[in-house]
Amino acid sequence: MSRVAKAPVTLPSGTSVTLNDRQVEVKGKNGNMSLRLHDLVELKQEDSQVVLSPVSDTKEAWMHTGTVRALLNNIVVGVTEGFEKKLELIGVGYKAQVAGSKVTLNLGYSHPIEYTLPEGVSAETPTQTEIVLKSSDKQKLGQAAANIRGFRPPEPYKGKGVRYSDEYVARKEAKKK
């Protein structure tokens, strides 16, 4: 049985949830997002909480209920607080610039890389070697950060590349003669 599914989703003040034909709409100060409910999941709203329960007592129904509960909680947090990911560029000459919805990266290649951010994701560069991505959609934010990191993932010998600010890169020792 899923422990995640049993926990209710608390709604902060200023957040509203509406259910229209298996489609859950969440509105908050950062916008509104929607989620399609699985057929094996029921939703009940009680005061400032949303309680999810499985339709039947099967393992599959509990699994889907836990997943939908986690996704709904991410949406509620996204429309109230938002999410943020920080990336660091480590290497000589590595730098980033943001212009509108485009991030221009110089990562040691013969050409700069231009990455267009998905809709709903914004970026800023406090320094030339830091990128801060913000969004209310956790999935889009994580995918955008992974795409940027994928242009030059950190290598294990010198640690050069694009990494998350909280990422640990295991370093290797070079070959010895």
pLDDT digits (tens, 9 = 90+) for 71-86: 999 999 999 999 999 9
Query: What pLDDT sits at residue 21?
Result: 86
Confidence band for 156, pLDDT divided at 50, 70 and 90: very high
**Three-state DSSP class for residue 146:** helix
Confidence band for 176, pLDDT divided at 50, 70 and 90: confident
Domain membership of residue 122 as a residue range = 83-164
Say if 169 falls within a structural domain. no
* Model confidence, pTM: 0.88
Say if 48 falls within a structural domain. yes
Query: Does 92 lie in the same domain as 55?
Result: no
pLDDT digits (tens, 9 = 90+) for 135-152: 999 999 999 999 999 999
Residue 66 pairs in a beta bridge with none
pLDDT digits (tens, 9 = 90+) for 91-118: 999 999 999 999 999 999 999 999 999 9
Which residues are within 8 A (CB) of 152 and not within 5 positions of it... i.e. 6 or more apart?
91, 94, 107, 108, 160, 161, 162
Tell me if 54 sits within 8 A of 41, measured CB to CB.
Answer: yes
Say if 170 falls within a structural domain. no
Query: Does 139 lie in the same domain as 106?
Result: yes
Confidence band for 1, pLDDT divided at 50, 70 and 90: low
